[in-house]
Structure 1
Amino acid sequence: MQFDAADLSELIVLCRVEIERHCEHLGRLDSAIGDGDHGANMRRGLEAVYRERDAISALPLPAALERIGLVLVMSIGGAAGPLYGTLLMELGRGMSAGEDDEADFAAILARAIAAVARRGRSGPGDKTLLDVLYPVQAEVAGHAAPARIAECARAAAQATEMMLARRGRASYLGARSVGHEDPGASSCALLTMTICHYLKEHAPS
């Protein structure tokens, strides 16, 4: 589907609502293996984007994604801000190069995820939001339907529960990090699922 200003504005609203609904849950996940502020930080970031939604939605999609990324970097704080910001800014930069079909988007997403990995100095299996992003990108590259991508994101986040954290504050816990879902993976899955459900509902019949 082709995004217009109304679509982007609606998605900003929906993502804000979803993070607000799960704010306490994300905080509890982070309290188990981090400092407990991931839910509050994500809520603050999505609120900041929501406040700018009219100006953001008036931009071409690539520029809008870059702007959202910048707002998240400035407002989320902690490790999540730079990671989410890098993802969205790199997506915007890739799309601004004129690549807009499905195959090109999969490649743009792969490059954006690689930038996130470099920024966080992490990779697959490190128990981070990358453990959602990598399988989601694989589904996108395989032309999966939005419902399948959403389910993939949910399952990937849940799979981090049994991973040993190798990056960030959670890595200090060693084996004690096993048995807890990663909060960054969880918030990434929530946002991915929200976007996918919107795409499914608004796909051309």
Structure 2
Amino acid sequence: DGDHGMNMNKGFTVFKDRYADQNYSFTEGLEELGEILLNEIGGSMGPIYGTIFMEMSEAGKDQVEITLTDFSNMLQAGLAGLMDIVDAKVGDKTLVDTLSPAAETIKQAADQGETYETALPKMKEAAIKGRDSTKDMIAKFGRSARLGERSRGVLDAGATSCCILLCAMADGIMELL
């Protein structure tokens, strides 16, 4: 939806404008982005994504090198932080439908001793599948919940933005390997 997209664009643009020329770690970047989204962006998504990124940052803090297990713990922490502030669950047509399966996929890959090279494509696939699953759902939260049955047939904005973020994160990590 327009409000969601505008707020996400605003938050990421503010981050880019402030920090494009700076050198920072992955977790420092997540923390700064989280602060911007939490404190400077309106709507519900600023605080939601701000919380996710800040929890991820905290979970990976002080890691010199982020292993796949560390990354899994970061995603799990982001998801746990989200679940502390929302009542949504998988199947409610929210970003939880994207983040939860992606985080679980990385956890399983880390538990099985996989590498980033094999795990990240699986995470992207899980995120895409989670996003796409929202198309046939009826929204239970947010503005789209007011549409009831009319919310069926379109992807959830939060699930879509979460998919974009997770896929971009995976692609960025893969470029550094």
One fold, TM greater than 0.5? Answer: yes
Alignment-derived partner of residue 199 in structure 1: 173
SS in 2 for 1:121: coil
1:41 and 2:4 matched: no
Alignment-derived partner of residue 84 in structure 1: 49
Identical residues among aligned pairs (%): 33
1:140 and 2:114 matched: no
Query: CA separation in 1, counterparts of 2:20 and 2:155?
Result: 34
Structure 2 runs not aligned, ≥5 long? 110-117
User: How much does 1:173 deviate?
Assistant: 1.7
Q: Any residues of structure 2 matched to 1:59-98 within 5 Å, and which?
A: 59-96=24-61, 98=63
User: How much does 1:118 deviate?
Assistant: 2.0
Residues 127 and 182, structure 1, Cα contact 8 Å, conserved in 2: yes
Query: CA separation in 2, counterparts of 1:61 and 1:138?
Result: 21
Residues 48 and 72, structure 1, Cα contact 8 Å, conserved in 2: no
- The alignment yields a C-alpha RMSD, in angstroms, of 2.0
Count of residue pairs the alignment pairs up: 168
User: How much does 1:60 deviate?
Assistant: 4.0
Query: CA separation in 1, counterparts of 2:165 and 2:20?
Result: 20
1:84/1:58 CA distance change after superposition, 3 Å: same
SS in 1 for 2:140: coil
1:155 and 2:129 matched: yes
Cα deviation, 1:7-41, whole Å, max 9, x if unaligned, reads xxxxxxxxxxxxxxxxxxxxxxx2xxxxx322111
Query: CA separation in 1, counterparts of 2:176 and 2:74?
Result: 23
In the superposition, the TM-score normalised over structure 1's length comes to: 0.74
Alignment-derived partner of residue 58 in structure 1: 23
Structure 1 runs not aligned, ≥5 long? 1-29, 31-35
Query: CA separation in 2, counterparts of 1:92 and 1:190?
Result: 19
Query: CA separation in 2, counterparts of 1:128 and 1:122?
Result: 7
Alignment-derived partner of residue 190 in structure 1: 164
1:166/1:97 CA distance change after superposition, 3 Å: farther
The structure whose RCO (Cα within 8 Å, separation 6+) is larger is 1
